[in-house]
Amino acid sequence: MFNSKESIVKGFTEQDPYFLEMTYKDIYPSIRSFVKQNSGDKHDAEDVFQDSMVIVLKKVNNNRFDLNCTFKTFMFSVCKRVWLNRLRGRGFIVNGLQDEDVFSDAEFFKIDQESKYIEEHKLFKKHFYKIDKLCQKVLRFVIKGNKTKEIVEEMAFPNENSMRQKLLQCKLKLLKRIKSDKKFQELKNEY
């Protein structure tokens, strides 16, 4: 297995299929077992593993990846932290499941924040693609940072006020969908 920081960084940055396959084969079974033993199922384990890989990839890409144990221990700790946060979000009382001492409190905080961001992004995307196409288009322009005048011209709104009203309707529609999702409440409780 890959245990040097350099081989892991290279595996992630080059998206080496062999590295990713070996990481999955070596680490995922213990994650699946841990999640299933702690109120989860196979799908939860897959999500936790995938999200943890994204967290580690972000650490690698931002030059914040530091390895002071085996990569398996590192990944297990990240996955465990992500799963414990999800359990807390679902209202479970997490007794007897202590976080590993592989990370400092600051590193745990960063993992928690990155995990929360990933979950929020998934929730946003899930509902974004369920609103009407016009709202999607207006919101995309705003997300990309387009100026109000540009949006009015591009989408042929009669004036800026009409565009702002439509934008408000779209935001409210999206927020209503997101807030009515069970996952939203879990995320709210989780962190």
Among 51, 65, 82, 49, smallest CA distance to 11 is for 65
Residue 134, in any domain of the structure: yes
Number of domains into which the chain is organized: 2
- Answer whether residue 189 is part of any domain: no
Tell me if 190 is assigned to some domain: no
Q: Output the pLDDT for position 131.
A: 93
One-letter-per-residue 3-state SS of 137-170:
HHHHHHHCCCCHHHHHHHHCCCCHHHHHHHHHHH
Q: Looking at 80, 99, 119, which one is the last position of a domain? A: 119
Range of the domain at 57: 5-119
* CA gap 127, 119 in Å, rounded: 13
> Which residue numbers in the chain have pLDDT < 70?
1-3, 93-113, 115, 189-191
- Model pTM above 0.75: no
List pLDDT tens digits, range 8-46: 888 888 888 898 888 899 899 999 998 998 888 999 999
Backbone conformation region of residue 156, classed left if phi is above 0, alpha if psi is from -120 to 50, else beta: left
Distance CA 87, CA 39 (A): 8
